[in-house]
């Protein structure tokens, strides 16, 4: 958890929950968008699938702007770990993929990296 002072000098907590929800929404938009493009092109489902995918990928770009941290590089670096874990989860839920222990270990390491990058205590 991180703390930030507002203009009146009072300390308020920047919610980690909001950040995590935004990461989940970003993953849904990016992974879902890429999947739609894949389906449209590789599975010959047509241009409407591709167009929906492009719109979802564009929405992903906006979601990151709502993260409480103002540093683009930090947000995108942390999101990379969410993307790795989310992609494996998408594969399980949508495509019947069965990750092995190394997939799961790698995803856990990535999520640990997200926690360190985003939520480690820092000086203001």
Euclidean distance between CA atoms 70 and 124, whole angstroms: 12
pLDDT-based confidence at 113, cuts 50/70/90? Answer: very high
pLDDT of residue 124: 63
The number of angstroms, rounded, from the C-alpha of 99 to the middle of its chain's C-alpha atoms is 19
Tokens matching residue 44: 């010959």
Contacts of 70 (CB under 8 A, 6+ apart): none
Q: Is there a contact between 3 and 14 (Cβ–Cβ < 8 Å)?
A: yes
Give residue-wise pLDDT tens across range 44-92.
Answer: 999 999 999 999 999 999 999 999 889 999 999 999 999 999 999 999 9
Question: Mean pLDDT across the stretch 6-35?
Answer: 79
Domain boundaries, the chain: 12-68, 70-123
Look over the chain and give the mean of its residue pLDDT values, rounded to a whole number: 89
């Amino acid at each position: 958890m991180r703390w930030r002072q507002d203009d009146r000098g009072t300390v308020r907590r920047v919610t980690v929950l909001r950040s995590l929800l935004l990461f989940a929404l970003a993953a849904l938009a990016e992974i879902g968008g890429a999947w739609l493009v894949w389906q449209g092109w590789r599975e010959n489902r047509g241009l409407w699938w591709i167009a929906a995918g492009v719109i979802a990928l564009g929405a992903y770009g906006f979601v990151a702007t709502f993260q409480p941290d103002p540093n683009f590089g930090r947000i995108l670096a942390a999101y990379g770990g969410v993307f790795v874990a989310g992609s494996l989860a998408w594969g399980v839920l949508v495509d019947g993929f069965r990750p092995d222990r190394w997939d799961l270990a790698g995803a856990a390491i990535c999520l640990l990296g997200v926690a360190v990058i985003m939520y480690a205590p820092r000086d203001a």
